[in-house]
Amino acid sequence: MKIIVIKFGGTSVGNLNRIKKVANIIISYIKRKYKVIVISSAMSGVTNELLLKIEKIAKEFPDAEKDVILSTGEQVASALIAGKLNELGYISRSWLSWQIPILTEGKYNSSRITNIYKNKILSYLKKGGTPIIAGFQGVNSDNRLTTLERGGSDASAIMCAKFFKAKECIIYTDVEGVFTTDPRLIKSAKKIKKISYEEMLEMASLGSKVMQPASIQDARLNRIDVKVKSSFKKKSGTLITKKKKIFNNNVIRGISFTKNDAKFTLVGIKDRPGVAAAIFKPLYENSVNVDMVVQNISGIGRETDLTFTIKIDDLYKTEKLVKKNKSIKFKKLIIDKNVSKVSIIGVGMITTPGVTYKMFQALAQKKINIEVISTSEIKISVLVNKKNLKKSVETLHKEFKLDSL
């Protein structure tokens, strides 16, 4: 069987007309003799509506019940797509995670798919049916509904591609593919034809919302080629694949940035072993993701300053946790809500000297102050004041010749 997995994002099924278009895309693959497994997201806006209800009901809402609620979005969308295909004369039905089943492990709200039972879906495909699987969810060993991380329909698609040994995995979304940077901010941003998992991973985790980071990682681990395409425009998208398949002279492949970070600086903490752990332990336990971390020696005896960044959504929670943490003492807490992280990404960076220097030099020439620096093998990130965000990205996009791709 020539199995293909197609996933449709929230905006692709954003309204009823679009669901009709989605049905036509699916049919185009059926006509080309593919056995199509479809993964559906919730209609855009639906998940947020549901989240709003949850927030209004209770401040401390149990995660397990949240998943019961959120999973309905994909359940509805998958049945609507199946219904439309039926009307158009195709055999199709919705498949819910507990019917297949799709097994997950981990915490509610952020589970991971560990197994997908193939028998029922395979025999349905053999009978000529097109299964529409509700994405973003599974069942755990307690037989309860779980959802994957936000945007987790991507993970559903990748894992389906893996377990069903699909020839291809196509992510239909509202963008044409992966760009050198966000085209909404920088007009000269260019579409990337092929990108490695590693680069895509950095692009994604740094804010390019094309695909969910965890699912890119899954694709990488399972060596699944993923195509990102627009469900609105008939254009070639971006292929996310192995490094080896990519030939490109540019060291830097893309520039990523975030808008919703906050910076915490704890001034005058005791510089003793275990102090960082004491600060980050309650944050970890309360699911606050700490991103950049810098420790400066303040010079005054055995005191130091510690700076870290978090998502602005976690601001209130983090502030509370830091303030009530009795195992650490500090003189002052400075919170800066006006920071943005800008990152340059490229697998070629490892073997090319001078990238760091070029980056800092280019920003310095534009009088952009760098507040925090963090580096990995294939990316360099700097924290800048939010007012300098656009200028920073523009400068680096030009500096690394992405304008002229």
Residues near a copy of itself, by CB under 8 A: 16, 19-20, 50, 53-54, 56-62, 64-66, 68-69, 72, 75-76, 78-80, 82-84, 86-87, 93-94, 96, 98-99, 143-145
* Nearer CB in complex with a copy of itself: 79/293: 79
* Nearer CB in complex with a copy of itself: 66/391: 66
Identify which of 156, 189, 173 has the alpha carbon closest to the alpha carbon of residue 232: 173
* Nearer CB in complex with a copy of itself: 73/254: 73
To a copy of itself, the closest distance from the beta carbon of 229 in angstroms equals: 23
Kindly give, in sequence order, each residue whose CB lies less than 8 Å from that of residue 90, ignoring residues fewer than 6 positions away.
26, 27, 30, 130
Peptide bond into 101 cis (omega under 30): yes
> Judging by beta carbons within 10 Å of its beta carbon (0-12, 13-18, 19+), is residue 173 exposed, middle or buried?
buried
* Nearer CB in complex with a copy of itself: 43/252: 43
Kindly give, in sequence order, each residue whose CB lies less than 8 Å from that of residue 140, ignoring residues fewer than 6 positions away.
103, 104, 105, 111, 146
Kindly give, in sequence order, each residue whose CB lies less than 8 Å from that of residue 257, ignoring residues fewer than 6 positions away.
181, 182, 185, 206, 207, 340, 341, 342, 343, 389, 392, 393
To a copy of itself, the closest distance from the beta carbon of 127 in angstroms equals: 14
Identify which of 260, 261, 371, 264 has the alpha carbon closest to the alpha carbon of residue 322: 264
Buried/exposed code over 70-90 (b: 16+ C-beta within 10 A; e: otherwise): bbbbbbbbbbbbbbbbeeeeb
- Residue 271, token pair as written in the block: 């510089």
To a copy of itself, the closest distance from the beta carbon of 120 in angstroms equals: 9
* Nearer CB in complex with a copy of itself: 100/383: 100
Residue 217 and residue 220: Cα distance in Å, rounded? 5
* Nearer CB in complex with a copy of itself: 67/176: 67
To a copy of itself, the closest distance from the beta carbon of 344 in angstroms equals: 43
Positive/negative CA dihedral, 351, 356, 357, 363: positive
To a copy of itself, the closest distance from the beta carbon of 139 in angstroms equals: 9
To a copy of itself, the closest distance from the beta carbon of 88 in angstroms equals: 8
Residue 298 and residue 295: Cα distance in Å, rounded? 9
* Nearer CB in complex with a copy of itself: 60/285: 60
To a copy of itself, the closest distance from the beta carbon of 82 in angstroms equals: 5
What is the separation of C-alpha 10 from the centre of its chain, rounded to a whole number of angstroms?
A: 14
To a copy of itself, the closest distance from the beta carbon of 197 in angstroms equals: 35
- In this structure, the dihedral spanned by the alpha carbons of residues 138, 143, 145 and 147, taken in order and rounded to 10 degrees, is -50
Residue holding tokens 């943490």? Answer: 325
* Nearer CB in complex with a copy of itself: 144/391: 144
To a copy of itself, the closest distance from the beta carbon of 219 in angstroms equals: 29
* Nearer CB in complex with a copy of itself: 4/139: 139
Residue 74 and residue 152: Cα distance in Å, rounded? 11
